[in-house]
Amino acid sequence: MKIFEFISYVFFGAVIIVVLFLAMSVFPIFGYYRVMVVQSGSMEPAVKTGSIVAVKSAGNYNANDIVSFADAKTPKKTITHRIIEIKEKDGEKKYATKGDANSERDFNEVAQENIIGKVFLTVPYLGYVIHTAKQPYGFATLVVVPALIIIFDEFGKIKSEIVRMKKLKNDTKKEDL
């Protein structure tokens, strides 16, 4: 039974981590930190497809920083690329960006207000789990699997308690004879 308990603790720990990263991918933490899933290979090998990136909002960005920013055409879409050049015109900074795996720089320059933050942490492959958890079947799995583990564990405890009580009852009957 000890191996089952160990596996269940590991599983619950993993579920808690996934739920935390899932929450952070939906809601920015303290307005400065955010977690996003990388869905393309444009930044490989530095940031692998399926990774999660944690970004922190900063007031100043430098060339060579990896940043996540809102796409100018579709603001709900975020892109994570490296800053390759900084231009300042009329007191407004614009950033030229490029994916490490791309041969050309990005067509549009990024305005300061479109930058979500600088990448400070990448976790390879965890993004696949977070992406799956955002789907209805993945979210159901996060609820159903732990519930089944708890039910199975409780049935095991009930069964062992019944066996213990029967043994105690039989021992009591033997003493009475």
Domain positions in the chain: 30-125
Helices (H) and strands (E) in the chain, counts: 3, 7
pTM above 0.75, yes or no: no
Question: Which pLDDT score, from 0 to 100, does residue 28 have?
Answer: 58
Q: Look at residue 177 and give its three-state secondary structure.
A: coil
pLDDT averaged per 10 residues in sequence order, the chain, 177 residues = 72 73 61 81 92 87 93 84 91 92 92 90 85 80 78 86 86 68
Question: Which pLDDT score, from 0 to 100, does residue 134 have?
Answer: 77
Which class in CATH covers the domain with range 30-125? mainly beta
Pairing of strands 33-37, 66-70: unpaired
Peptide bond into 45 cis (omega under 30): yes
Q: Which two tokens stand for residue 28?
A: 């920015």
Distances 43 to 18, 19, 65, 70, 174 between C-alpha atoms, Å: 23, 26, 12, 16, 74
